[in-house]
Amino acid sequence: MENGLLGRMGIPRLIISLFLAFLVAMAFSYGLPMGQIFSAMLTRFGMNALLVMAMIPTIQAGAGPNFGLPFGIICGLIGATLAIELDLRNFTALFFAIGVSIPLGAFAGWLYGLLLNRVKGQEMTVGTYMGFSIVSLMCIFWLMAPYSSPEMVWPYGGDGLRVTVVLDGRMEQLLDRLWSFTIGSVRIPTGLLLVTIFCCILLWLFLRTRTGLAMSIVGSNPRFAEASGLNVNKYRMIASIISCAMGAAGIVIYSQSYGFIQLYQAPLYMALYSVSAILIGGASLQRATITQALIGTFLFNALLVIALPVANVAMDSDISEIMRVIISNGIILYALTRREVGGDAR
């Protein structure tokens, strides 16, 4: 790594920041409603932050970004749908959903961890496909599961749950609206941001406990860790459990802010978007910090939020989805081809 600003920032992050600045300038010059855009940026940042932070434990433990995040996401969706099935509302629903999701997610993470410890070195490929298969297996579950809440099943005798479940009046934007206020024309989703900060602090504290530090050592140098008596597999397992539990809670927070629970194929690529967000923040496949996760989440989502209206005005076609695909996968490719600093000690 070279020193200096460029070295510290990394070329991709620099390019993306400049691009973002360019789009913001464009938006201003087109006279777009900037208040709305900045509010949307903040909301989307809060929506995704926890899902992106879920990447940190596994990266730190040397298992790479958690491409198996769908394992956790699925559990969060089960929690959220159960809350509606039981006809819960407001904070009861939210806390119930999160309360159910976290232990389920931890269990799924435990299973996933068993797998991860048997496929060292291939975690990313195996994780991706295992994630894809669990999402398609769960499609059958959503279709067959005996849910009966009329808000979730198809109204006219169709099979199973709807593709998107509306959270209107249940827990839609519950955190976003909590203590929210407006500065100028920018609405600050206070509750959502506070929850994000709370999660950051929890994770920060965890990474500084004995277990957390041991986990980072296992990741940065497995042989040294083994020689000093640390059980490598145990710490990788802990990382997987925490990561999936965070993914589970993360999707509940995501859904409440979005206002819909997306079922079936929707979680398929969510892991990829979280991976790319943290990489955009400057993380590598071996090292990641909370700051990088937050910066990455903000840059990635800000870019997506602003690209849509700007592209609509500039060339009246929807280029933002294409851009999202190119940028998110491009950054993962970049990370994959980077020479690994220190090499793989396994």
Partner 1 sequence: MKLIQRNIVPILFIILCTIGFQYSGLSWMFFANDLMARLARNSFLVISLIIPVLAGMGLNFGIVLGAMAGQFAAFITVVHNLTGVGGFFAACVMAIPFAVLFGWLTGILFNKAKGKEMITGLILGFFANGVYQLICLIFIGWLIPISNKALLLPSGVGFVNTLDLKIWQYAIDKFYVFRARGIDIPVLKYLNNINIPVLTLVIVAILCTAVVLLFKTKLGQDFRAVGQNRHIAEIAGIKVDKVRIIAVIFSTVLAAWGQLIFLQNIGNVQVYGSHVQVGTFAVAALLIGGATVSKATIGQALLGTVLFHALFIVSPLAGKNLMGSAQVGEYFRVFIAYGVIGIALALHAWQRLAKKT
Residues at the contact surface with partner 1, assessed by CB under 8 A: 115, 118-122, 124-126, 128-130, 132-133, 136-137, 139-140, 143-144, 159-160, 272, 315-317, 319, 322-323, 325-326, 329-330, 332-333, 336-337
Considering beta carbons, is residue 39 or 128 the nearer one to partner 1?
128
Q: Quick one: 178 or 325, whose CB is closer to partner 1?
A: 325
Kindly tell me which of 171 and 310 has the beta carbon lying closer to partner 1: 310
| CB nearer to partner 1: pick between 2 and 159 | 159
**Local structure of residue 319 (DSSP, 8 states):** -
| Inter-residue contact 280 to 297 (CB < 8 Å) | no
In the bound complex, what is the minimum distance in angstroms from residue 169's beta carbon to partner 1? 29
Q: Tell me which amino acid residue 224 is.
A: F
Query: 90 or 122, CB closer to partner 1?
Result: 122
DSSP letters, 177-241, are HTT-EEETTEEE-HHHHHHHHHHHHHHHHHHHSHHHHHHHHHHH-HHHHHHTT--HHHHHHHHHH
* Residue 319 Cβ vs partner 1, minimum distance, rounded to whole Å: 6
Q: Minimum Å distance from CB 4 to partner 1? A: 24
In one-letter notation, the amino acid at residue 155 is P
Nearest Cα to 63, choosing from 205, 248, 220, 203?
A: 220
CB of 85 to partner 1, least distance (A): 20
In whole angstroms, how close is the CB of 287 to partner 1 at the nearest point? 17
In order of 77, 174, 226, the CA distances from 169 in angstroms are 18, 9, 52
Pairing between strand 164-166 and 260-262?
antiparallel
